[in-house]
A and B are shown apart, each in its own frame.
Chain A
Amino acid sequence: MYHHDHCEGFQCEQQQLEATLAHSGGELGALDRLIAWFRQRSLFVLAYGTGCGAIEMRPLMTSRFDAERFGIIGAATPRQADVLVISGYLAIKTLKRVIRSYEQMQEPKYVIGLGSCTINGGMYWDSYNTIKQLDHYLPVDMYVNGCMPRPEALIEGFVALQKQIANGAPSGAMRYRENIDWYKANQRRVLGDNMPPDYTYDWYHAGDVA
């Protein structure tokens, strides 16, 4: 079972930034490499403004930092989005909505955890109603460390994610599929009976675990 305990805080970020350097992507076929290149060139972002980090998403999109030059643009609904940005601490109440939105996104899909709160709870480490480690509930592809990280940091995260995609690294959704029991058990632990309905991960029941 996958468990996320070999890194914490900025270590995770560092590892992820470096992981792409090791990965060459040479084993992909030509078409796959082309598709991967298209994918990394066009990321539709579902910015889920959960915590205070959400404030950094606006300058990211507007004139000063202009994320659109990397092909990053906001999406209105989870159906159209490729990247889910969890911006900061996640209240348990919000977690349910986030999980549902994530499950409604279509693969390949990626999750970016923004801010220390998503890595280890940050300054909410002892809060009674926020989750501490996002990775226990959703498969995070990229962490952006800091409290709160500046838009430059977020852009760096996006660029690292793009490199990862271009190299053909599988999206976190794969991990989610493979370890769905573990993720669901974790989710149930905090949400109790208040779980999102199970038809959004219907492939799990259909025995279609890839």
Chain B
Amino acid sequence: MLHYFIDAFAMIGMSYFMGFLFYGFYRQFNARVQRRWGPSIFQNFFDNMKFLFKTETIIHGPMFFFGPMIIFAGAVTTVLFVPYLKDSIWLQGFSQSGNMILIVYLLVVGPLGNALAVGSSGNPFGVMGVTRGLTRLMGLEVPFLLGLALVMVQHETASVHAIMAAQPDFAHWNLVTNPLAFLVMILPFMASQHASPFDVVGAPVEVYAGPRVEFSGRLLGILMTQNMMMTVAKLVLIADLFLGGATTIWELIAKTFALFLLTAAISTSFPRLRTEQTVDFFWKIPLGLGVISVIATIWFPWS
């Protein structure tokens, strides 16, 4: 029992820590690309703390208050169901009682709970943002899960542990053995991280900050916190599935950072797409690629 508690806290703490450092790095990176100095690497931590210590927070009814709690609970649950390390008893959380499809669905539980809060605020801009978010989700989820399904078919299991165990060395990484699956799911994965070309939903100034329009003070702090943790959980999931997982914390950080760098590099270079362009893009390029790889790797006898 005690083990579970320590483990859970370690996972939560680590996700938070990595989360704000990664985002801090992202802001630095972005700034350097734009030839600026950029903020300190801890800037996201400062922002987050500032919001958590605001002295005033407005709510619009009980559901509005519970929305951020649901999204936070969803994020932490996700974190706890993703195994962070391979062949270790630490940083496992409850991942033994979950699987890949469960994790993918857990990723959306929180945002949907928060959508209720946005709705109950009565701000039409927020709801507009939610609708855009759901629309984008509709676009990205299809190729994303298709990419993961290719891996599931390859290993005939939905368990993240089993898939990690099947990739002992570089030559067996799914990135190497099933590169098509990686290509299919990487862009939707970026969109699920709210990264730049696909960030029309929550981007500031775009429909007035989207779903977050009415959130202020400490509730906004909660939303920021869960976002950072969720980002790390998703990165770890992809590192587990395609980069063979990690046996040490340093390896984990290196792999997730590499993935993060990839997303950061792509998102600094491309301008934002409209919602329907995003959906259309996902249904054409990544999904088309997905169909090709299904035909190439599953339909034909040589596979």
Contacts and interface: CB of A to CB of B under 8 A. Distances in A.
Contact of B36 (A66, A79, A108): A66
A29 to B, nearest CB: 13
Q: How large is the interface on B (under 10, 10 to 19, 20 to 34, 35 or more residues)?
A: 20 to 34
Interface string A62-77: 1100101111011111
Contacts of B43: 41-42, 68, 71
Interface of B: 27, 31, 34-40, 43, 46-47, 49-50, 53-58, 204-205, 208-209, 212-217, 220
Contacts of A70: 39
9 contacts: A35-B53, A42-B43, A42-B50, A44-B47, A68-B38, A76-B205, A77-B214, A79-B213, A80-B215
Given A71-B46, A106-B217, A80 B212 contact: yes
Contacts of A82: 50
Interface of A: 35, 38-39, 41-42, 44, 62-63, 66, 68-71, 73-77, 79-80, 82, 106-108
B200 to A, nearest CB: 13
Contacts of B215: 79-80
A100 to B, nearest CB: 14
A118 to B, nearest CB: 24
Nearest to B50: A42
A68 B209 contact: no
A107 B220 contact: no
A15 B141 CA distance: 57
Contacts of B209: 76-77, 80
Contact of B208 (A63, A69, A73, A77): A77
Nearest to B44: A42
Given A74-B204, A79-B58, 11 more contacts: A38-B46, A38-B53, A41-B46, A42-B47, A68-B38, A71-B39, A73-B39, A77-B209, A77-B213, A80-B215, A106-B217
